[in-house]
Amino acid sequence: MSLCYKKIQKKPNLLVSTLIVIAVILSPSCVNVGGYSSVEEFKCTNPGVKMQEVPGTPGILISPTQCYDYTFISSKVSQALIIFVEEYSNAFNTPHGDVWRALSGLKIEVSVYGRQVSSAFDVNGKLIYNAHVNGLALSKKHIWVEIKTKQINTTAFIHELAHIMIWNIQGVHGDPDHEGHEYSGWTRTHTTLIENVNIRLLESGI
């Protein structure tokens, strides 16, 4: 899949300290949802019905940012969450039920349109200004993820779930500087967890 680039204008209201990664911003025309895909096009006539519940989860919801956008297929998100819970449970010796409770009620917002924030940390804790991001933990129960290709494993989805777990465990923040030293919570185990889950998603075609 060829990469397409677009310039995102700075949005002053997006002053979010919870980072995620510097991103390649894809234009909507670059998203190929043909063939084996975890992504589908979304068009709504009623903005009030954008949100749907992810099957088999404790009240986890998914919604595109806009009425004319792309979104993850909810059944694929369900499978991805099951894999995440299994891997997190093994990595941190935590019962599956505790992981699901931390994720319960989560709102997953997705879009093909990237975002720019005034500042963000990279995975090593370096502060970046006017950063293009492909995911954000907006609160302990709300994430935003940019759709980059037709697969979930290429997005920041699992990365944001790691932030959500940290945020719900310590209650104050999701450790926005990752393996940096300004905030606490994120460890090398979290980074390895994300890599392992995304490999499993890739192998599963998700």
Assess whether pLDDT exceeds 90 at residue 49: no
Least confident among 138-147, 160-169, 179-188 = 179-188
Higher pLDDT, 48 or 167: 167
pLDDT reported for residue 182: 84
Q: Is 198 within a domain? A: yes
Q: Is 23 within a domain? A: no
Taking the C-alpha atoms of residue 126 and residue 78, their distance in angstroms, rounded to an integer, is: 33
131 phi/psi in degrees, rounded to 5: -95, 135
Assess whether pLDDT exceeds 50 at residue 136: yes
* Percent of the chain's residues with pLDDT above 90: 60
Question: How many separate domains does the chain show?
Answer: 1
pLDDT reported for residue 119: 67
Assess whether pLDDT exceeds 90 at residue 59: yes
Could you write out the DSSP letters of every residue in the chain?
Answer: ------PPPP-TT----S---B-PPPPGGG---SSS-SEEEEE-S-GGG--EEPTTSSS-EEEESSSEEEEE-HHHHHHHHHHHHHHHHHHHT--HHHHHHHHTT-EEEEESS-EEEEEEE-TTS-EEEEEEESEEEEETTEEEEE--SSSGGGSSHHHHHHHHHHHHHHSS---TTTTSSSS-S--HHHHHHHHHHHHHHHHTT-
Q: Is 104 within a domain? A: yes
Q: Is 13 within a domain? A: no
145 phi/psi in degrees, rounded to 5: -135, 135
Q: How confident is the model at residue 62 (pLDDT cuts 50, 70, 90)?
A: very high
Q: Residue 116 corresponds to which amino acid? A: Q
Taking the C-alpha atoms of residue 93 and residue 187, their distance in angstroms, rounded to an integer, is: 15
Q: Is 21 within a domain? A: no
Q: Is 180 within a domain? A: yes
Beta bridge partners of 127: 121
- The Cβ of residue 122 has, within 10 Å, a number of other Cβ atoms equal to 17
Q: Which residues contact 164 (CB under 8 A, 6 or more apart)?
A: 102, 103, 106, 137, 140, 141, 143, 174
Q: Residue 5 corresponds to which amino acid? A: Y
What is the residue range of 195's domain? 28-203
Q: Is 97 within a domain? A: yes
Q: Is 10 within a domain? A: no
Q: Are 167 and 140 in contact (CB under 8 A)?
A: yes
